[in-house]
Amino acid sequence: MPARRHSPDRLTRRPGAGRPRKIPRTSDQPVAEEIVGEASRLFARQGFAATTMAQLAEASGLQVTSTYYYYASKEEILERILDEVNQVPLDALAAAIATSDDPAEQLHHFIRRDAAALCRFPFDINESHRLASTPVCRFGRYWSERQV
Give the contacts of 90 (CB within 8 A, at least 6 positions apart). Answer: 145, 148
Going from the C-alpha of 56 to that of each of 12, 32, 70, 74, 86, the distances in angstroms are 18, 11, 12, 9, 23
Longest dimension (CA), the chain: 55
Per residue in 18-40, pLDDT (tens digit) is 555 566 666 677 889 889 889 98
> What pLDDT shows up at residue 59?
93
pLDDT surpasses 60 at 12:
no
pTM above 0.75, yes or no: no
Instruction: Please say whether the beta carbons of 128 and 82 come within 8 A.
Output: yes
Split at pLDDT 50, 70, 90, the class of 139 is: low
Q: Using CA atoms, how far apart are residues 44 and 8, in angstroms rounded to an integer?
A: 27
Split at pLDDT 50, 70, 90, the class of 1 is: very low
